[in-house]
A and B are shown apart, each in its own frame.
Chain A
Amino acid sequence: MRSNRKVSKRMSRISVHTMHIGAVMLMLFVMVILNQLASSSCNQLMKIVDQKDKELMRCDAELERTSSAWDAMRSSDNLDRALMKFGLSMHIPSAKQVIHMDESGHPLPSQTSVALLRQRVQGGISAQVSTHAGGAARRRR
């Protein structure tokens, strides 16, 4: 009887331990699984990010190439060539053709175009000249 009691006591102790161990093992297993799942999804995401990075770099490079081509087209010599190709002759307007105005719309002093207009508007008043000057400039442009 005594020995049976002893055994059952030991057995019960073992079964308690086994349960604990089982729980720990299960926890470990679950943790490993979770860790692996997380790691795997991280890797997947990393691949996607890398792919997107490459795509972004490709797009950036494409943008750079396109803007470079655009800049090359606008270089001084290429603009000249393009104008010649279409038989266009462009030059900077002479001082007679340009009227510089301040923010309020009045012509700035010391301008050939204004002096020319003054000559034309005989006996003109400066206020009138300024109005004419502004209109003329707009028409010319």
Chain B
Amino acid sequence: MRGENVRFWLPVLALCSFSGYTSYKLVRAHLAPTTTEPRYDFKSEVVSSRGAIYDSTRDPVTGRNYPLVKSTPCWEFRLDPVVMTSEVVRVKGEKPRSREAMARTISQVLHLDYAKTLAMCRDTRSRYQFLKVSSDQRAHDILKNKRYVAGVIVQDTHERRYFEDRHLAHVLGCVNKEGVGSYGIEQRFDKLLRGVPGRIRGKRDGQGREIVEKRVEMTPPVPGADVYLTINRHIQKDAEDSLAGGVAEFGAAAGWCVILDAQSGDVLAMASYPDFDPCEFGKAPESAKINRVTAFTYEPGSVMKVITAAAAIDRGYVRPDSLYSTDRFEKGPGGDPKYYKLPGDGSHVWEPRMSVKDAIVHSSNIVIGKLGYELGPATLHSYMKKFGFGEQTGVELPGEEVGILRPPERWDKATRSRAAIGQGVSVTAIQLASAYQAIANDGVRMPPRIVAKVLNADGEAVAFGPPRKGERVVSVETSRQLREMMLGVASPEGTARRAALRGYSVAGKTGTAQKVRGRTYAPGIYRATFCGIVPSGVVKSAPQDADPVPPRVVILVTLDFEEKRKFHQGGNSAGPVFKRIAQGTLRRLEVAPDRPDELLEYDDEEFERMMESRAKKVAEEDPMWGGEPLWRMD
């Protein structure tokens, strides 16, 4: 019985297997003929497109922000001269195209030099020579057609486009050939901008091509996140143009400026000159690559006097009208040479006593130096710390410098008075501007930021740093008093007459810091700075107004001289540049003037003349103070 079963089931099973296999092969061969049998596994990475960087202005039509940097799909064209003649498609009745003809086509389509292209086409020793990266569809279509040209390898790639060319180069940075951010925002946000590459797994045919039917996995790429800056590209351009103009006009070697929103601390513009082309980062000189706003420290000079005055007033040690002796060699109790090594005030030390307010307006080294000395290192140091000196501001740019602010225990007698007038300390421009922002914002310092938000591909916000928190540095009353004191600086009586703006009140301070050469200060070589708050926030535009027009922007301009120049002071060189930048910025931001009568009474030239005549009048009344203030130690 068992033998019978075996005899019966064995052929049945064999028949079943045979028929099943045959039918499978038949159907497969008939219905799904594959080109080749897969022999190897196929793995491929799908490149994700790098995120874009936008500015803060919006297109009124689309409501979208303007892109500053964007990755654009394009093609990389390479040349393999070895296969040029063998792979070209021959058309009946036509002569096969020669290397010369193909070189002509390539050079015409890709806008290359014909002689160089021909040389490349003839050089059969080197294969896969780089021709060009282009997004021209016509070039792609022609060069892919082997009837016209053979030997051109076309690869899909992405090109990083910097729409504003050199503008904002120090902020945006650049990417290297591998597509990795290597400077600026591109470097700081590289991980977020890069996205996650996709993946394809499956089988490949004999020629290495993927067999789509055999695909077992496809993870689509996740595009990089988009970074939205607080920068206003129009203000940025105005600032850069004005700065470059100022550097050329006053014969400076370099210059930098930063514009902060007075309330939020947002960076509206940041410029550093000389600049570089982000597409040719490697070719730029090292000195041009430095973002001098964040990655460069310097002695600020007299702009620090406002910080000393802020500390003294906020502590209740002095009032703006408190009088101080202007005797440089005054000795303290017991004959102690108290105010040790104070630089002179030039010839405007004519009055035996001067108020703190006048000391700011006329930039008196002696009065502010004495004030700093009397406050003591601990107090002055703590206020400098509160204003943000000696530490990073946290602005989202790589390589931010800290500056030099030694602990108070290490301050000697000279440092006590010198730090008060901006010597012996080293700061960055962004630190200085941020300190002035605190004064503009009623004593609350907002850490400056340049990135407003980062949105991923789904439009969701991505966290990229600790939350910002404002910190009260001085009281509201102190900040108001400081701004009132600083009003006089950009007036015919002050050190920055040329920084005065028609229609707007300016609360600012000049700084002319001697540069250090070796171990001593170089005579006649300076860094000129002007930092101003516009509108000042202490002037009512009309008597019936309840409140003054609030401050809108803080602008810091520094010009760096390498040689002796006629206009090297903060008021005479950085001041006019500040004025040009401020005029453009206030117009762009549509800030209502707080001195509208001036706009009605004068035009720009008339305003200049009015300021000059008022300055002359002051000179006539007080011959020691007035006239051309070139000799002033501001």
Residues of A at the B interface (CB closer than 8 Å) are 14, 17, 21, 24-25, 28-29, 32-33, 36-37, 39-40, 43, 46-47, 50, 60-62, 64-65, 68-69, 71-72, 74-77, 92, 94-96, 98, 100, 108-112, 115-116, 119
**CB–CB A68/B161 < 8 A:** yes
A111 lies within 8 A of B596 (CB): yes
Find B31's partner among A14, A40, A71 (CB 8 Å cutoff).
Answer: A40
B19, B156, B503: the one contacting A25 at CB < 8 Å is B19
B593 adjacent to A95 (CB under 8 Å)? yes
* Stretch of B70-78, B287-295, B298-306, B408-416 that contacts chain A: B70-78
Contacts A39-B32, A95-B599 given: A76-B590 contact, CB under 8 Å? Answer: no
**How far does the alpha carbon of A25 sit from the alpha carbon of B14 in the complex, in Å?**
12
A-B contacts, 11 of them at CB < 8 A, read A32-B23, A37-B27, A40-B27, A40-B32, A47-B212, A61-B156, A76-B164, A77-B164, A92-B588, A95-B587, A112-B600
Q: Assuming A65-B72, A71-B67, A76-B167, is B137 touching A110 (CB within 8 A)?
A: no
In the complex, chain A residues whose CB is within 8 Å of the CB of B27: 32-33, 36-37, 40
Q: State whether the Cβ of B606 lies closer than 8 Å to any Cβ in chain A.
A: no
* Residues in A neighbouring B135, C-beta threshold 8 A: 65, 68-69
Rank and list the top 6 A-B pairs by shortest CB-CB distance, nearest first.
Answer: A110-B541, A36-B27, A61-B73, A40-B31, A68-B72, A75-B163
A50 to B590, CA, bound (A): 53
Known: A76-B234, A110-B592. A36 touches B31 (CB 8 A): yes
Is there an interface contact between A110 and B31, defined as CB atoms closer than 8 Å? no
Task: For A72, list chain B residues within 8 Å (CB).
Answer: 161, 163
Interface residues of B in 1-36 (CB under 8 A from A): 8, 12, 15-16, 19-20, 23-24, 27-28, 31-32
Q: B20 contacts A29, CB within 8 Å? A: yes
Report yes or no: B164 in contact with A64, Cβ–Cβ below 8 A: no
Complex formed: what's the CA distance from A101 to B72 in Å? 41
User: Does B165 belong to the interface (CB within 8 Å)?
Assistant: yes
Whether the Cβ atoms of B541 and A25 lie closer than 8 Å is no
If the complex has contacts A25-B16, A32-B24, A36-B31, are A100 and B590 also in contact, measured as CB distance less than 8 A?
yes
Q: What separation, in Å, do the CA atoms of A61 and B72 have in the docked complex?
A: 8
B597 within 8 A of A: yes
Q: Are B72 and A43 in contact (CB under 8 A)?
A: no
Cα A32 to Cα B31 in complex, Å, equals 13
New contact pairs (9) apart from A33-B27, A47-B212, A65-B137, CB-CB < 8 Å: A36-B32, A39-B32, A61-B73, A69-B135, A75-B163, A75-B164, A76-B234, A96-B599, A100-B592
Q: Is B351 an interface residue (CB 8 A)?
A: no
With a CB–CB cut-off of 8 A, which chain A residues contact B8? 14, 17
Chain A residues with CB under 8 A of B213? 43, 46-47
CB distance from B203 to the nearest CB of A (A): 13
Do residues A71 and B163 form an inter-chain contact, with CB atoms below 8 A? yes
Given contacts A25-B15, A28-B16, A95-B503, contact A36 B592 (CB under 8 A): no
Output the least CB separation between A112 and chain B (Å).
4
Counted as pairs of residues, one from A and one from B, with CB atoms less than 8 Å apart, the total is 120
Flag whether B261 is at the interface (Cβ < 8 A): no
Q: Please, how many angstroms separate the alpha-carbon atoms of A129 and B425 in the complex?
A: 55
Q: How many whole Å from B535's CB to the nearest CB in chain A?
A: 10
- List the B side residues contacting A14 at CB < 8 Å: 8
Nearest CB of A to B404, in Å: 37
Residues A62 and B161 in contact in the complex (CB < 8 Å), given A29-B20, A40-B32, A76-B237 = no
Please name all residues of chain A whose beta carbon is closer than 8 Å to the beta carbon of B28 when the two chains form the complex. 36, 40
Contacts of B594 in A (CB 8 A): 110
Q: How would residues 47 to 88 of chain B score, 1 for a CB under 8 Å from any chain A CB and 0 otherwise?
A: 001000000000000000011001011100000000000000
Check B542–A110 contact: CB distance below 8 A: yes
Distance between Cα atoms of A40 and B549 in the complex (Å): 75
Task: List residues of chain B with CB within 8 A of the CB of A109.
Answer: 541-542, 545, 592
Q: Once the chains are docked, how many angstroms separate the CA of A29 from the CA of B21?
A: 10
A69 to B135, CA, bound (A): 10
Q: Which residues of A contact B587 (CB under 8 A)?
A: 92, 94-95
Which one of B32, B70, B590, B593 has the greatest number of beta carbons of chain A within 10 Å?
A: B32
B233 at the interface (CB under 8 A from A): yes
Give A14 Cβ to nearest chain B Cβ, in Å: 7
A-contact 0/1 string along B575-612, CB 8 Å cutoff: 00000000010011010111011011000000000000
The closest CB in chain B to the CB of A91 belongs to B587
By beta carbon, the residue of chain A nearest B166 is A77
Given contacts A47-B213, A96-B599, contact A76 B233 (CB under 8 A): yes
Q: Which residue in A25, A47, A119 is a CB contact (below 8 Å) of B600?
A: A119
A60 to B63, CA, bound (A): 21
Docked Cα-Cα span, A69 to B588, in Å, equals 26
Q: Nearest chain A CB to B551's CB is how many angstroms away?
A: 14
Residues of A within 8 Å of B165, CB to CB, are: 75, 77
Interfacial chain A residues near B549, Cβ < 8 Å: 110
The answer, among B20, B542, B590, B600, for a CB contact under 8 Å with A98, is: B590
CA distance A123 to B284 in the complex (A): 63
* Contact partners of B67 in chain A: CB under 8 A: 71
Given known contacts A71-B66, A112-B600, is B164 in contact with A32 (CB within 8 Å)?
no
Instruction: Return the chain A residue nearest B31 by Cβ.
Output: A40
**Looking at the complex, which one of A21, A33, A43, A75 makes contact with B23 (CB distance below 8 Å)?**
A33
Kindly list chain B residues whose C-beta atoms are within 8 Å of the C-beta of A40. Answer: 27-28, 31-32
Contacts of A47 in B (CB 8 A): 212-213
Specify which chain A residues have a CB less than 8 angstroms from the CB of B584 in the assembled complex.
Answer: 92
Residue-wise interface mask of B (487-516) relative to A, using a CB-CB cutoff of 8 A (1 in contact, 0 not): 000000000000000010000000000000
A113 to B100, CA, bound (A): 68
Question: Of B31, B73, B593, which contacts A37 at CB under 8 A?
Answer: B31
* Chain B residues positioned under 8 Å from A68 (CB to CB): 70, 72, 135, 161
Choose among A47, A75, A109 the residue with the greatest number of B CB atoms under 10 Å from its CB: A75
Do the beta carbons of A110 and B593 come within 8 Å of each other?
A: yes
Which one of A32, A39, A96, A119 has the highest number of Cβ atoms from chain B below 10 Å of its Cβ? A32
Q: Which residues of A contact B19 (CB under 8 A)?
A: 25, 28-29
Q: How far is the CA of A115 from the CA of B15 in the complex (A)?
A: 105
B599 touches A112 (CB 8 A): yes
Within the complex, the shortest CB–CB distance from B47 to chain A, in Å, comes to 12
CB-CB nearest in chain A for B70: A68
Partner of A74 from the list B66, B590, B596, B600 (CB cut-off 8 Å) is B66
Q: How far is the CA of A49 from the CA of B407 in the complex (A)?
A: 68
Expressed in whole angstroms, the minimum distance between the Cβ of A23 and any Cβ of chain B is 12
Closest to B74 in A: A65
Complex Cα gap A115–B234 (Å): 28
